[in-house]
Structure formats: C-alpha cells, structure tokens
Structure 1
Amino acid sequence: MIDDAPAPACTICNSHLFDHELTHQACRPCTDRIDQQLRALAGPEGLYARLAHSLAPGSSGGGPVVSGSRTAPLPLRLDPLSLAARGGVVTILQTWLVDWHDLLGYRHPRWEGDLQQQLDQVVHRLRVLLPWAAEQHGAIAEFGTELASLVRQCRAATGSEKPPRRVGVSCTCGHTLRVTLDTAGVRCPACSTQYGHSEALRLPLAERRAA
C-alpha cells in the first residue's frame, strides 16, 4: 500500500524537515531566524531601546534627540510610543511567555524593573524555551509571524534599517517571484507552487526584461 501522507514540513516556511527534525514544528533556519529577531530587540543598543530616541517628530533613532529640555518635545510620534509603551512589544512578548509557561506547567513568570528590564527578561526566557517551542508548540508559526511583525515595526519606527532588497527569481512555471533574504516562504500566484525559505533562495534569478 502506497503511503500518500505528505512529508513533514516546517509550519513556518513549509520546507521539508530533515530526519532529525521530523517531530518538530519549525526547521532549524526558521528557529535561528526567530532567535536572531529576539536578540535584535534586547539590550541597551537593541531595537526596543532605540524607540526611546525616536519619539520626537523628525527623529529616526540614529541617536538621542537634541533638545533644550530633558524630555522629547510634543507632539510625540505615535508609532514608536505605542510600541514602547505597556501594551506594545513588551506586553505582547510577555503574553507569549505566559502561554509557553502554561503549556509546560511552569509558574507564571514575574516581571521586575522598568519596561526595558522586563523586555530583556522576557527575551532571555523566550530564547531559553525556544528549542522546546520549535519542537512542540503548535502555534510557533503564529509566534514567528507576530515577532517578525514587531521587529519590522520597530525598525521602521527607529529608521535603523532599510527594507530588505527584493530580488526576482523564476518559478519552475516561468512566473517571476519577488523574494528577500528574510523570505520565510512564497507561493507562486500562477501555479500555486509553495516554496520554503531555502527553496525560494535556490530558484534561478529571473531574466530582466528590456524596458
């Protein structure tokens, strides 16, 4: 009898899993990408800390706002303010950590210090538990998507990084797809073929059409 069951795949990028990952929810590249995004948020030079320098209109996170007062002038930029305030980045990550602790049967985490300190604490704990989540958490793809969105919003609010350059690659059907080095996966709108992260990056470059 032929087994028609689909091969196990990463729930984030849909790439086939290696033999040692068959019980996992997320592949190693996607797990590493989540870890990198968590690390990008934390610390005194991280994206979250830079939000405080991006509150004044016209600021871009390149350094502290130069002003005659100790506080940022009003009106404040709402995007970095909403991300930095309670209910923003810190609260979203804390909610995920509570969920992970509940599933593992651990006590709820305790938050100490100001929001920056709490951000650093929750990022550290999420990174410690990430190998477990990548293997067993059924919502790891949702977590990865929300985390990537937070990081993009922080980068846009702080002006710390330009959007990744999109490159045209050719689907096997001939349709041109636009991907970046951060692409988790892409589906061809012409033939519905789904490519994972590594598969998409291995596609041949699309030929440039004459203007």
Structure 2
Amino acid sequence: MNLDEALEPRCTICTRALYADEINRYACHPCTRRCDEQLLELAGPRGLYAKLGSHLAPGSGSGGPAVSGSRNAPVPLRLDVLNLLTAGGPVLGPLETWVRDWEARGRAELNEAGTLQQRVNHAVGTLRFNLEWAATNHPAFDEFAREVSLMHRQASVHVAGERPPRAIPVACPCGAILRVGLDTPGVRCYGCGEQYGHAEVLRLPVAERRAAA
C-alpha cells in the first residue's frame, strides 16, 4: 500500500476506501447495512434469539428433534445454548452493554424491565434506531459491528444446526498468532494492534504448527 492509499479514508470494518458519500463515516454503507440486518434477525418472536429456546434439548441442534414450545425443556439441557439465552450471556449482555454506552452519549435508553426476550427486542430496537448516528460518530463502531456479527453467528449456528466455521491459525508479521475463519469480518492483532480487514487477514500466511500450538 502506497502513502496515498494509506491516507485514504477507509471503512474500519472491511477496510476498503470510502466513497465520496461515505467520507466522515467510520463504516461504509454495506457494512452498516449488514450490521442492521444482523441486529434485525436477532430480535422478535421469530428471531434467532427466540428460536434458540427450541434448541435446548441435546440433539436438537444437530438434526435431532427440536423441543416443543413447552416451558419444561428436557434435562439435561444444552449448556452452550442455555448460555446464549441468559441475561449476562453473549447475546443480551453485549447488546445492553452497547445500549449503556450509547445512553451515556445521549443516543439510547436502557430498559431492563420485562422478559429476556423483551429486553433483547428493546436493545435491538434502540441500537438500530441510532445505527446511522453510530456509524458516523462512534469511534468504536467497528468493535460494535464485530460483536453483533459474532452474536449473530453464534445464534445462527445453533438454530441452523450447523457446525461453527473452522478457525485457522495465521501469523501476523509481529509474530502473534491469530485464529480466523472464512467468515471472520476482520480482526485486530493482540500483539501489535494492527487492524486487518476480511480480505487482508485471509492473506496472512498460515502459522506453522509449532507456533500455533
């Protein structure tokens, strides 16, 4: 990358150069739309979060029979799915953390009343309502978008009964080993702080087995 390319305003998520109508944004329009779509698919009575409740029984996420709508799910439960449904789990927990962050900036309002589903719906609603503001004004929008992508992927894997994408160890020039998959939207190196977009991180060399161990 030459100096002129390095100075071009770029999307902090996919790292492509921003178009004229995207200047002064932290994320390009396609990345913002993808984040909005992923949020939308999480919430509501037919959303991914609601569907997780039908995958609590062992085998229900791998082609086996799904649990009925009954509140009395069989025991033992799938703890990985149950964890996704808890208040502090990897779906509602991060959503409400970001609502708190945006609330401190005067752009959202936290509501912890009601059922967990209602809280997810509220969090998603207020985050989507303020998404354009965040894509233009919030310096950590890339972090937010990646967390949304992660929770969407985790929920989708269980609802669709698919295995998580295989993670491959790749080597950053600084020597750090990063584990990425074909669906990794981007990653920041924990060693040197370099931010890689989707295409860039997939171009990194595969780490040797000794280094990846």
CA contact (8 A) 1:80 1:158 kept: no
Question: Structure 1 regions of 5+ residues with no counterpart?
Answer: 165-177, 191-211
User: 1:21 and 1:157 mapped to 2: Cα distance?
Assistant: 35
Aligned-pair CA distance for 1:70: 5.0
Question: Among residues 96, 99, 102, which one is paired with 1:97 in the alignment?
Answer: 99
Matched positions, count: 173
Matched, 1:185 2:186: no
Aligned-pair CA distance for 1:179: 5.6
- Describe the shift of the 1:70–1:46 C-alpha distance in structure 2 as closer, same or farther (beyond 3 A): closer
Matched, 1:58 2:59: yes
State the match for 1:200 in structure 2. none
Q: Deviations over 1:142-189 (max 9, x none)?
A: 11111111111111122256779xxxxxxxxxxxxx966x78621122
* Identical pairs, percent: 44
Aligned-pair CA distance for 1:101: 1.5
- Read off the aligned partner of 1:186 and give its amino acid letter: A
- Read off the aligned partner of 2:92 and give its amino acid letter: V
- Read off the aligned partner of 2:124 and give its amino acid letter: V
State the match for 2:77 in structure 1. 76
Which structure: larger Rg? 1
Aligned-pair CA distance for 1:7: 0.5
User: 1:107 and 1:134 mapped to 2: Cα distance?
Assistant: 14
User: 2:138 and 2:97 mapped to 1: Cα distance?
Assistant: 15
Matched, 1:110 2:111: yes
User: 1:112 and 1:26 mapped to 2: Cα distance?
Assistant: 32
User: 2:30 and 2:143 mapped to 1: Cα distance?
Assistant: 16
User: 2:162 and 2:127 mapped to 1: Cα distance?
Assistant: 24
Q: Deviations over 1:48-69 (max 9, x none)?
A: 00111111101129885159x7
Question: Structure 2 regions of 5+ residues with no counterpart?
Answer: 166-180, 187-196, 206-213
CA contact (8 A) 1:79 1:157 kept: no
Matched, 1:42 2:51: no
- Read off the aligned partner of 1:185 and give its amino acid letter: H
Give TM-score scaled by structure 2 length.
Answer: 0.71
State the match for 2:170 in structure 1. none
State the match for 1:141 in structure 2. 142
Aligned-pair CA distance for 1:86: 1.1
CA RMSD of aligned residues (A): 2.8
User: 1:110 and 1:147 mapped to 2: Cα distance?
Assistant: 19
Give TM-score scaled by structure 1 length.
Answer: 0.72
State the match for 1:168 in structure 2. none
Aligned-pair CA distance for 1:118: 0.9
- Read off the aligned partner of 1:101 and give its amino acid letter: E
Q: Deviations over 1:76-133 (max 9, x none)?
A: 0011100011101112101101101112x35752233100011111101000000000
User: 2:68 and 2:164 mapped to 1: Cα distance?
Assistant: 27
CA contact (8 A) 2:108 2:127 kept: no
State the match for 1:33 in structure 2. 34
CA contact (8 A) 1:61 1:158 kept: no
User: 1:131 and 1:84 mapped to 2: Cα distance?
Assistant: 28
Q: Which has the higher contact order (CA 8 A, sep 6+)?
A: 1
The secondary structure found in structure 2 opposite 1:186 is helix
